[in-house]
Amino acid sequence: MNRLSLTEYQFMEIIWQHSEGISSAEIYDIFPQSLSTKSTILSRILKKGCAICKRKGKQVYYYPKITKREYEKLIFQEDIEKNMGFSSFQKLFAAFCGKSKLTTEQTQQLERLIEQLENDE
Q: Return d(Cα 105, Cα 95) in angstroms, integer.
A: 16
The H helix count followed by the E strand count for the chain is 6, 3
Residue 53 backbone zone (phi > 0: left; psi -120 to 50: alpha; other: beta)? beta
> Which pLDDT does position 99 carry in this prediction?
81
Condensed to tens digits (0 to 9), the pLDDT of residues 103-115 reads 888 878 878 887 8
Contact between residue 19 and residue 63 where contact means Cβ atoms under 8 Å apart:
yes
Q: 56-89, pLDDT tens digit by residue?
A: 999 999 999 999 989 998 888 787 777 666 666 6
Query: The whole model's pTM is what?
Result: 0.73
* Strand intervals (E) in 7-67: 22-23, 51-56, 59-64
